[in-house]
Amino acid sequence: MKVMEKRNGNLLGPWVLLIIVTIAMIVSSISIYFEQWRVAIGAMGLVLVWAILAFRIIKPAFAGLVFRFGSRVIIDGEYLTLKEGWVFIFPILERIVEISLRQHQKEINSKKADESEDTYMNRAESFSTAEGVGIFPEIFFSYKITSPGKVFELGGGIDNNGDSPFLVEMLHDLVIGGTRGVLAKMELTKILSRETKDENGNAIPIGEKIRADIIGTPNFDRLGAELLIIRIEDIKFTKGAQDVLDALEEIKKQELARQSKVIEADARLQVQRKDAEAIVVKAEADLAKARAEAAGLNAAVAAFVGKKPETPTTPEDGEKYARYQVGMRVAESFATTTKVIIPAGDVSKVMSGLINVFEASKP
């Protein structure tokens, strides 16, 4: 296909229109002057027919790809296209091919309402997972044409809907190939979650990963189309794949049960650890209390025998202090008639110092 590069947009500009209409009026006027009515009517008729043929209306959401002398026109490196609305072209020399700019939606492996399961499995595209399990995903994708000139270059023509059948076929094959490449590296359980990881480790839909891989293929921009969405709508399985899926589900249940037992054991360990910590804290508190009582008793004994409070005392110092305390209790009982019980082994010791203690306790 030849491409004509021109600096001008439309061949039929306002000056061309004005010149043609002016010439037609002059010819008609001369013919009327010389009473050549047929010539005048013929000239006006030709102008009218020419004007009708030159007038075009480009439908909304369509672009008009301009062909001049049978070839496309490039202006500043871009194919000459006309926007929606009414336009004028030069009949015979120019023509317009309308290409749709709407968003197109297609489906792969969609199951028909009246289609049996066996018929569907025989017709649908099969995809393999990392485990080698065959699955039948229903894939939805949408696209729109961004460069009508590039789309026309693909060949295959433009249908009545303004779409390129060859472009649809190419995108169909690209989506299938991209999906095969992504799913072949994923386990079945991951595919069922409809998510995967991108290069940064972020969770993204599988369709977005497939779309990114397709867009990144060499020369994709030469298609003149933008791939908007790829989405896995549903996943169907063969009988063998269903058995594998059931086995995987059983393994998953066993794994969850094992994790539950580990969590339960860990919880018991935490409780036991807290109980042990409480026992240690109580033991440390009791030890601190005993040390405080011992330090207080040591200070009392040291003060009784005339030593500094922080000076360690001897067993003899403790015995003297004990005898003094027993004597004081006996003396107190004599003064208040309160009975004091003294161990039998200590009676002789107590009685030997009783008189002195009693005398010392008198006012």
Pairing of strands 3-5, 71-75: parallel
What is the end-to-end Cα distance of the chain in Å, rounded?
A: 138
Question: Which of 13-17, 215-219, 283-287 is least confident?
Answer: 13-17
Q: Which residues contact 127 (CB under 8 A, 6 or more apart)?
A: 134, 135, 136, 137, 179, 180, 183, 184
DSSP notation for 111-136: PPTT--HHHHHHHSPPEE-TT--EEE
Handedness of CA 24, 29, 30, 32 (dihedral sign): positive
pLDDT digits (tens, 9 = 90+) for 234-287: 888 766 666 666 666 676 777 777 888 888 888 888 888 888 888 888 888 888
pTM over 0.75? The answer is no
Instruction: Give percent of the chain with pLDDT exceeding 90.
Output: 14
The pLDDT-based confidence of 353 (bands split at 50, 70, 90) is very low
**Average pLDDT of the chain, as a whole number:** 76
pLDDT, residue 3, reads 40
Residue 115 contacts residue 100 (beta carbons within 8 Å): no
Express each pLDDT in 153-189 by its tens digit. Answer: 887 778 888 888 899 999 999 999 999 999 999 888 8
3-state secondary structure of 319: helix
Q: Are strands 85-88 and 55-58 parallel, antiparallel or unpaired?
A: antiparallel
Helix/strand/coil percent split, the chain, to 5:
55, 20, 25
pLDDT of residue 29: 67
Q: What is the pLDDT of residues 121-135, one digit of tens each?
A: 888 888 988 888 888
pLDDT for 227 equals: 93
Fold exhibited by the domain 104-237? Tetrahydropterin Synthase; Chain A (3.30.479)
User: pLDDT, tens digit, for every residue of 135-158?
Assistant: 889 999 999 998 888 888 887 778
